[in-house]
Amino acid sequence: MDKLAAGWRIQRRVISALMIRELVTRFGRENIGFLWIMVEPLLFAVLVGIVWRFMKGPEEHGVSVVAFVASGYIPLTLFRNAVGRSVRVFSVNGSLMYHRQIKVLDFIFVRFLIEMIGAMMAYLFIGTLLILLNEFPVPADLGAFFTGWFLYCLFSFSLCLVLAPLSEMSDVLEKFMPVTIYIMIPFSGTFAMVSWLTPEAQNAMYYSPFVHAMELMRQGIFGSRVDAHYDVAVPLAASLVSALIGLGLCRRIRRHLVVE
């Protein structure tokens, strides 16, 4: 028990040290520093929101277009960035392997955590701004929203656990990653509620863990103005399977890792 507590203390120390190190190396200490982490999701949500606003008008299916785009794009950007940051994470962090208390899971987790915090800050910023401009509803059910957010993050992270070691095993993966992510965008629930789709499309969406999490988030924001379809068990089960595979792969990679 004592050993477990000591291990937990060390890992907490390591994770906070890694967070600071990662933020300093990525954003430096000049100008707005670590606030840069929210700039990208923010720009995405705002610019795409404006474009859609002019293409589709102020409202679609009874909800604000800008609010709908923002609520979809921020999680999507989080997922894309998190996956991008986990590619070759072992090779680029080779120098960390010199310190035995740093485990490979620590730096995969830290990279994800930074993306997640950036996305949450961007969400808070843009949400507050749009509420003041009357373009975003006051969230109807924060509990539902955060459950959805948590599931979305959980599944994204469990995918990172698989993709990080796979990207070390094969260079081919890196080449296919951008196009795969592009193809999966329609299955991420970003652009439409399931209830807006044809029955065939609805059936297909059921198998995407992202969609369930996204529907739950949108119910939390828009409340009864949307008809959310979700099953919490799907993203939970998918995350569990993916995380187990990922942990096995990470362990394998660590055993064979060649450190300069």
Partner 1 sequence: MISCERLTKSYPMGSGRKQVLRGVDLQIEPGEHVGFLGRNGAGKTTLIKLIGGVEMPTSGRIHRHMSVSWPLGFGGGFQGSLTGYDNARFIARIYGHEYKEIRDFVEDFTELGPQLKMPVKTYSSGMRARLAFALSLAIEFDCYLIDEIIMVGDANFHKKCHHELFEKRRDRALVLASHSPETIREFCDRAVVLNQGQAKIYADVNEGLEVYAGL
Give residues in contact with partner 1 (CB under 8 A).
10, 13-14, 16-17, 20-21, 24-25, 94-95, 97-102, 254-260
CB of 174 to partner 1, least distance (A): 19
Alpha carbon 56 to chain centroid, angstroms: 27
Helix (H, G, I), strand (E, B) or coil at 70: helix
Nearer to partner 1, 96 or 181 (CB): 96
CB of 139 to partner 1, least distance (A): 37
DSSP 8-state assignment for residue 64: E
**CA nearest neighbour of 158 among 102, 211, 120, 112:** 112
Nearer to partner 1, 14 or 238 (CB): 14
Contact 202, 229 (CB under 8 A): yes
Distance CA 139, CA 125 (A): 14
Contact 141, 147 (CB under 8 A): no
Nearer to partner 1, 102 or 122 (CB): 102
CB of 96 to partner 1, least distance (A): 8
Straight-line distance from the first to the last Cα atom of the chain, in angstroms, rounded to the nearest whole number: 36
Nearer to partner 1, 105 or 120 (CB): 105
Nearer to partner 1, 36 or 146 (CB): 36
Distance CA 10, CA 19 (A): 14
CB of 95 to partner 1, least distance (A): 5
CB of 99 to partner 1, least distance (A): 6
Nearer to partner 1, 3 or 183 (CB): 3
Residue 84, class by beta-carbon neighbours within 10 Å (0-12 exposed, 13-18 middle, 19+ buried)?
Answer: middle
